[in-house]
Structures are given as structure tokens and as C-alpha cells.
Amino acid sequence: MIRHAREVSGSAVCSLTRAALLVGLVVLAACAVAVPELPQPRPIIIHSGARLRVDHERMKVVNEWVIDEQDNIVQDPSFLVETQPSTSEVYLWERLEIEGDTVRTPVDVRSVDSRLGHEIYAHLHLMVDMGRQEEWLPEAPAAVEYDLERAILLRSADAWVLGRTVFDTQPYGPLDELMYANEAGYLDAFIFTARPAEFARARTEWARANPSRVDEYRSWFLDTFSREPPGLRSN
């Protein structure tokens, strides 16, 4: 859930995106600008044996807007994207906070490669808050509530699959789950299950139209990741 705060909370050390050197996927994506052709995506496989393959032409399109968004995050002086260290797994929407022209997002210190995914998600939410939705989400220029969140998570999933299949980004549970769920056609089930207290109206309409989808999704998730999906895990 996204918080709109009036004051900066805590004294955690923040990494200011504008001033920091980009690492991991950020560096690799930037390097792609200098080459005439994006490398062919490679199939990826996780511990369960689940494989994922993506189309080269699709990744070219994703790479273009990822670079544009990365450049904007770094170079645009009208806002800040701050990353804050987390010592545990964190999903993109968790503890995201917008305050004026600044958005703060936690990043797991054990997964440097996940940083760009968090920055893109945070940046898109900030752009919406600043009235720049049409500029950065042209496919969903007027989307609100669930449709908006879905559009942002879809972009985040595409950015992560680009990193994993083209730039050898290292696996990271929360983003791999999002990516695999999207590629398998379970993005809606993933969102509604992981965030049971949100999007009540959209959830009700979706559940009526897809009465068995949650059970199908849960079974698929258990087979793919050998654990319950987010939202169904015990503490």
C-alpha cells in the first residue's frame, strides 16, 4: 500500500537515485544503448524446473522504455527517487511512500539487481501523483485504482523479465514471482491474492468472472515456487 507522508520518517540511510551510480541491471541496460542490437533473450529456469522464454522483438520495445525511464529517474531535477535498505524480502508495493516530489522505496540489500525494478515502480507512481501519467503510461493514460496498479505492475514485470532473460540479472523471489505470474497469465490472481485488503470492487468483479481462477493460481504457484503465494503465507 502506498503512503503519502508529510514528513520523512526515521533515520535510515537513503540511497538517492539521482546521485548514485546505477548498478546491476541499470548498468547493463545503459550499456545496451551503445550496441546496435539487443542480445537475444535466453531461456531461464528456476529450481522447480519452470522455464520461461520471451520474444526478442518484445524485449527490444521494453528495453527502449526502460532506458528512457532510467534516464528520467537519474536526470530529471524535478523529483527524487530514494531507495532505502531493507534486510528482508520486499514486494514492490510494500512501504512505498510519496512525499511531495519525492518517492521512497525499500530495496533488499541482498539483491542489488532488484533496485531498478523498485525504482521503476516507484517512479511510475510518482509520475501519476505529479500529473504525468499520460507521459509515462501511454497505454493507460486515464487508468485509476486497480487498472492503474495493474498497468504499473505489468511494466515492472516486463522490466524484470528483460533483466533476467537479456542481462543475466540474478534471481530475486518477489520479482521472479511477479514475472512468472504475468507470463503465465496469472497477474490478476497474483495481485488480488497478495493484496487482499485492496481493490475490493475490482476483486469482486474479477472473482465473479473467474470463479476457479484463484485455486488454479494457487496450484500453479505451489508447483512453480514450492511455497504458498504471497497473501496466503503464515507468519
Model confidence pLDDT, tens digit, residues 28-76: 444 444 545 899 999 999 888 889 999 999 999 999 999 999 999 999 9
Domain count for the chain: 1
Spatial distance between the Cα atoms of 121 and 123, rounded to a whole number of angstroms: 6
Cα–Cα distance list, 105 to 39, 76, 94, 155 (Å)? 30, 18, 8, 17
Q: At 103, list the grid cell.
A: 518517492
Predicted confidence (pLDDT) per residue in 135-159, tens digit: 999 999 999 999 999 999 999 999 9
Residue 7 in domain: yes
Please state the rounded mean pLDDT for residues 86-111: 97
Residue 196 in domain: no
Contact indicator for 96, 83 with CB cutoff of 8 Å: no
Helix (H, G, I), strand (E, B) or coil at 52: strand
What is the reported pLDDT for 47?
86
Residue 206 in domain: no
What is the reported pLDDT for 50?
87
What is the reported pLDDT for 97?
98
The pTM assigned to this predicted structure is 0.85
Predicted confidence (pLDDT) per residue in 112-138, tens digit: 999 999 999 999 999 999 999 999 999
Spatial distance between the Cα atoms of 120 and 102, rounded to a whole number of angstroms: 14
Residue 219 in domain: no
Whole domain around residue 104: which residue ranges? 3-188
Instruction: Pick the range with the lowest mean pLDDT from 117-121, 195-199, 203-207, 231-235.
Output: 231-235
Residue 211 in domain: no
Whose CA is closest to 149, among 87, 93, 71, 218? 93
Residue 123 in domain: yes
Phi-psi region of 41 (alpha: psi -120 to 50; beta: other; left: phi over 0): beta
Residue 214 in domain: no
Residue 216 in domain: no
Q: At 175, list the grid cell.
A: 520479482
